[in-house]
Structure 1
Amino acid sequence: MKRITVFIVYFFCLHYCGYSQDRFIVQNAKQSDKVKFQLINNLIIIPVEINGVNLSFLLDSGVTKPILFNFLNVSDSLKIESTETFYLRGLGEDEHILAQRSTGNVFKIGDAVKLDQDMYAIYDANLNLAPKLGVPVHGIIGFDLLKDLVIEVNYSRSFLKLYNPDNYKYKRCRKCEIFHLEFYNNKPYINGVVELNERSIPVKLLIDTGGSDALWLFEDETKGINAGANYFHDFLGHGLGGSVYGKRSKVEALHLKNFTLKKPNVAYPDSLFIMHAKNHKERSGSVSGNILKRFNIILDYRNATISLKKNGSFNHDFNYNNSGIELAHDGYKFVKQTKDILYNQSGNDEESISQGLNILYRTDVKMVLKPVYTIVELRKNSPAERIGLKLNDVVVSINGKVTHHYKLQKLMEMFYDDPGKNIRLKVERNGIPLTFSFNLENPLKK
């Protein structure tokens, strides 16, 4: 009996005694681990295990505590208990959003484990990111992971490399630029320079892996930051507080030390939607996924540094949605699938078939679930709006391609094609089939 007790204690310690209660630690002999991620619309979606349940989270350097989107009652399977009620604030019109705080959760990302992680569960169905991205997203994680580990973000090959900081060794990299990070409310900031309105303007930018745009700037006449005359109004995205709208344009260049990104897209969010984001008076805006994905990155919060190295996406053009349409995954529908199967009465051997003996065809019919894609945003005065498309139109095909055969990201790429390209849409509106045709247009004024 004593030997069994000793074995149980040894087994328990082998699996848990090395784990820290209050921080993430990579638990393997190498003290590092590789974690594959999905890059969807310039956003990093990583696998996260919480209390033994496998989920998908957005890696967002702009948030402090993990947030669970609990509108589907995921917490029931996680066996968590809410201990306190809080109100969280974020981008958007709404001032706050109700959340339940939970403590004592076990988080596991690859071989990195934390035994006592607190998080916030939000029950607002409007914060469901899955329809906008076309893949399941159960929550957001940021600072609590990034502060504990050195993390290499390999955008070009879609993986993270997680390291325990005490065992991380920097390799010499002559093509890298290393920046000092400044932190405000546990969020990382980097200094750069934008060329705008024939001026070079120093800017302090939040590093925002949770944003899909390239660059956000806050209009400020004292700094010379404004959209000028060449812009268009647009939907910019969803924040914790709701939808965000503003102006879109371009800047001549963004300089990050010796790296120069030419004519990147820029968004100027309306001040109404970003009032609390401007609490950091020195902040000029954000640098987000459409710029960050052009580098492979090393984030080292302990030493307050970020290392950037250009990858194969660096010189890709910055394009806009030239249709004005935003699609979202809007559930599923049953679609009839047929398949002709070749067979013969005397046997299925190759010789009988090749000689044409008693060959028959059988048509198998089955009903399968396929995704539905709906227009959820329609830019005012865009070619799609002018031709008569409307919100909630269900898009059945684009240029002859049946939409349910494609992922959302692949469909949206068609709207970023060159101005002048013809787009033919078949839609259903209240069950009635309709056909539309229009040409893509550059939304910026000539």
Structure 2
Amino acid sequence: MTRFTKIWIGLKFYAVTCLCIMSNHFDRGISCSVRTLMIKLLIVMLGFVLTANEVSAQRFEFPGRRKKEIVPFKMVKNLMIIKLMINGKGPFNFVLDTGVGLFLISDPKLIDSVEIKNLRSINITGFGDGEPLSAYVTPSIDVGFGSTNAKSLSAAILKKDIFELSNYVGMPVHGLIGYEFFNSFIVKINFTLSTLTIYRPETTYIARKGYRVPLMIEDRKPYLVSNIELTSGEKIAAKLILDTGAGHPISLETNGGVPFEVPKVNIAGNLGIGLTGPISGYISRVKSLSIGKYTLNNVIAAFPDYDDVGSKVYSVSRNGNMGITILKRFNVIFDYNESALYLKPGIILNEPFEHDMSGLELTSAGQKFDRMLVSRVEPGSSAAEAGLSKDDEILAINFKPVSEMSPSEIDNLFRSKSDRSFIIDVLPHGAKSNKEKERIILTLKRRI
């Protein structure tokens, strides 16, 4: 079970404004990581260093009279990856994430390769024990996407890639981009075709057959209201941050200043790492939730411990977070300038919500990211019962080498069907050659 959590510090220092928990309990392949949690936290803290002039009015522009463009993206483990040019060089892979309010470069090697200048060095404290985190900020880099360009964009740059998103995704990832992108265009996302259609923001564009949902843009992030029915029968109108970088369906943090009641059927555990330590809580389901006129049933939800998260929500009053596992059931259009989201049902709208049933947290390794290592085994899970341990290497699944499989393909297998069995070839940690590999049977088990 992969745990992935996001906590943002809001515009008031240390005001934790969102927990994006992702655990493979929810759905392997929809995860946004504990790494992304710390990235979100870091981005806002770095934002304090930039002046108002440095972060205002930074937009992408079309060349000439061009009004729209269609550009592909890649969906990998429920993260949207787009290609950007930086200072005329690249392309580089960036996560497209509405939960990010400041452009972040996580790969410090880009400083030299794209000749980034006007850097200010800072140290960030508050990440727990250990040395302060070192980073740079710059008010001036040029970023290109397709034919569009944003000049003198502010950015934060890590001095060390401590988040290792590349190992999680299984391909090079150089950073994250959010508000600057979505505030520059009307953005149409076709999850079926994995394409972005971007329009000039002044374009008079009404989504054909699309249902309009009001958005609230606060602190450079989008929010909406969703009607949710809990398993207790209680119905609430929940204000949720809408986050394309969050892999879960929803997390519910605070219900009018008090904790949400956790359903009786749940999985308890450590959901991730926050600013001050581990985030505990539960994974369960809600009876239903709405997004616009559409209702989704039996939705998997996170209930983080109130003392860890809900009690620390200060800067933006809200109840929780809605992630890409909801959004990708539609084709969507973001229009920040008109504070609107348009929805058109996709082919997977009514598919059931499933969680990971293996209990494995995996990470890619090797120069080509073609090796798969076990980074954690959930206690009591199918993987634990099968004898898998941390630092074991998965060599093959049903006789197919993992080097020939994508991380998303593996994720989808492990959430496919309860009681489904796989033959797993494993190289135990400490083994010196493939002659010591073992073959085990892993049988998936649904727990919520």
TM-score grouping bracket, smaller chain normalisation: 0.7 to 0.9
Counting only pairs closer than 5 Å after superposition, residues 67-216 of structure 1 correspond to structure 2 as 67-71=104-108, 73-81=109-117, 83-86=119-122, 97-173=133-209, 176-196=210-230, 197-216=232-251
3-state SS of the aligned residue for 2:149?
Answer: strand
Whole-angstrom CA distance in 2 between matches of 1:58 and 1:379 = 27
- Corresponding residue to 1:231 among 266, 289, 292: 266
Counting only pairs closer than 5 Å after superposition, residues 24-423 of structure 1 correspond to structure 2 as 24-53=60-89, 54-71=91-108, 73-81=109-117, 83-86=119-122, 97-173=133-209, 176-196=210-230, 197-220=232-255, 225-234=260-269, 236=271, 246-271=281-306, 274=309, 278-280=313-315, 282-332=317-367, 371-423=370-422
CA deviations over 1:251-299 (Å, ceiling 9, x no partner): 1111123100111111123456547972245211111111110111111
Offset at residue 107 of structure 1 (A): 0.6
Offset at residue 34 of structure 1 (A): 1.0
Whole-angstrom CA distance in 2 between matches of 1:178 and 1:226 = 31
**How has the CA–CA distance of structure 1 residues 89 and 160 changed in structure 2, closer, same or farther, with 3 Å as cutoff?**
farther
**How has the CA–CA distance of structure 1 residues 204 and 221 changed in structure 2, closer, same or farther, with 3 Å as cutoff?**
closer
**More displaced 10-residue stretch of structure 1: 429-438 or 79-88:** 79-88
8 A contact 1:234–1:379 mirrored in 2: no
**How has the CA–CA distance of structure 1 residues 418 and 316 changed in structure 2, closer, same or farther, with 3 Å as cutoff?**
same
1:420 alignment partner AA: D
- Corresponding residue to 1:434 among 435, 438, 444: 438
**More displaced 10-residue stretch of structure 1: 238-247 or 275-284:** 238-247
Whole-angstrom CA distance in 2 between matches of 1:218 and 1:34 = 37
CA RMSD of aligned residues (A): 2.8
**More displaced 10-residue stretch of structure 1: 244-253 or 158-167:** 244-253
Offset at residue 47 of structure 1 (A): 0.7
8 A contact 1:65–1:119 mirrored in 2: yes
2:102 alignment partner AA: K
Name the TM-score, length of structure 2 as normaliser.
Answer: 0.79
Name the TM-score, length of structure 1 as normaliser.
Answer: 0.79
8 A contact 1:294–1:313 mirrored in 2: yes
**More displaced 10-residue stretch of structure 1: 402-411 or 124-133:** 124-133
8 A contact 1:215–1:266 mirrored in 2: yes
Offset at residue 161 of structure 1 (A): 1.0
8 A contact 1:201–1:224 mirrored in 2: no
Offset at residue 440 of structure 1 (A): 1.0
**Structure 2 unaligned residues grouped into runs of 5+:** 1-55
Offset at residue 379 of structure 1 (A): 1.2
**How has the CA–CA distance of structure 1 residues 427 and 219 changed in structure 2, closer, same or farther, with 3 Å as cutoff?**
farther
CA deviations over 1:340-385 (Å, ceiling 9, x no partner): xxxxxxxxxxxxxxxxxxxxxxxxxxxxx77110011211211111
Whole-angstrom CA distance in 2 between matches of 1:22 and 1:266 = 35
3-state SS of the aligned residue for 2:265?
Answer: coil
Whole-angstrom CA distance in 2 between matches of 1:223 and 1:35 = 44
**More displaced 10-residue stretch of structure 1: 271-280 or 131-140:** 271-280
Higher RCO, 1 vs 2 (CA within 8 Å, ≥6 residues apart)? 2
Whole-angstrom CA distance in 1 between matches of 2:124 and 2:310 = 14
2:402 alignment partner AA: T
Offset at residue 243 of structure 1 (A): 7.7
Percent identity between the two aligned chains: 25
1:439 alignment partner AA: T
Offset at residue 421 of structure 1 (A): 1.1
8 A contact 2:398–2:423 mirrored in 1: yes
8 A contact 1:82–1:100 mirrored in 2: no
Match of 1:335 in 2: none
8 A contact 1:151–1:299 mirrored in 2: yes
Whole-angstrom CA distance in 1 between matches of 2:264 and 2:125 = 32
Whole-angstrom CA distance in 2 between matches of 1:381 and 1:411 = 21
Match of 2:51 in 1: none
Whole-angstrom CA distance in 2 between matches of 1:101 and 1:386 = 47
Whole-angstrom CA distance in 1 between matches of 2:369 and 2:61 = 40
Offset at residue 30 of structure 1 (A): 2.9
Whole-angstrom CA distance in 1 between matches of 2:402 and 2:281 = 29
Larger Rg: 1
1:142 alignment partner AA: G
3-state SS of the aligned residue for 2:168?
Answer: helix
Bigger share in strand: 1
3-state SS of the aligned residue for 2:414?
Answer: helix
